[in-house]
Chain A
Amino acid sequence: QEQLVESGGGLVQPGGSLRLSCEASIFTFRSYGMHWVRQPPGKGLEWVAAISYDESKIFYADSAKGRFTISRDNSKNTLYLQMNSLKPDDTAVYFCGKDRLWESLYFYGMDVWGLGTAVTVTS
């Protein structure tokens, strides 16, 4: 069964940094686009960033531009999200998701999701 496992969440002060990781298993990670999505407590889903299978296409939500960096290491089957200058509004559960189609520079939606990792930004 295809699986994604996020890690790296935790408690951080405003202005601090965290790096989230998402390790993939069972599927051919290097052939799929990947996303980060977050969900603040009690609220809806918010898309954060996406990266194509070959890293040639990278997209960010306005809330992430200039502060967050998405990257991937296909040799380690791992997706990353480097988060800097964190704010209390960044408090959320962060999910990674695998895009639906194989080796596409377009994005179709996420058919495999991790269970999420919680990030809390507070002083």
Chain B
Amino acid sequence: DIQMTQSPSTLSASVGDRVTITCRASQSISGWLAWYQQRPGKAPYFLIYQASTLDSGVPSRFSGSGSGTEFTLTINGLQPEDFGTYYCQQVNRNFPFTFGPGTKVEIK
């Protein structure tokens, strides 16, 4: 089966900082990766699909990159509303559509 890992598990950053979250797959998933943000008590919010395509209406400070087994989500210029937990999800049909364990982002 496929395993998804994320690092770091928690990060604390200041408004305006550049933040990078890494997601790794235990097997190659090509570019079949999505990213989400979830605020406490809310449903997840879709950010990126196909590893690097920003969904409609998502602020341009978010970007994604990577392929194969290593992927990154970058927030350029962290904003107060960006707090929450970020999840990657692999969507390669050859494997279960597993989520990563999440990265909690706190605003200093």
Contacts and interface: CB of A to CB of B under 8 A. Distances in A.
A113 B55 contact: no
Contact of B89 (A57, A59, A62, A109): A109
Contacts, number: 70
A95 interface: yes
B99 A44 contact: yes
B96 A61 contact: yes
B93 A107 contact: yes
B107 interface: no
A110 interface: yes
Interface magnitude class on chain A: 20 to 34
B97 A62 contact: no
Interface stretch (A15-23, A45-53, A74-82, A84-92): A45-53
A61 B2 CA distance: 11
Contacts of A115: 43
A47 B46 contact: no
B65 interface: no
B34 A109 contact: yes
Given A45-B87, A100-B55, A108-B34, A50 B43 contact: no
Task: Identify whether the interface residues of B are mostly helix, strand, loop, or mixed.
Answer: loop
Interface in B59-89: 85, 87, 89
Contact of B97 (A50, A95, A111, A114): A50
Nearest to B43: A113
Contact of A110 (B46, B85, B93, B102): B46
Interface of B: 1, 34-36, 38, 43-44, 46, 48-50, 55, 85, 87, 89, 91, 93, 96-102
Closest 4 pairs (CB-CB, A-B): A109-B34, A113-B43, A111-B46, A108-B49
13 contacts: A44-B85, A44-B100, A45-B99, A46-B99, A61-B97, A62-B1, A62-B96, A100-B55, A107-B93, A108-B91, A110-B36, A115-B43, A116-B43
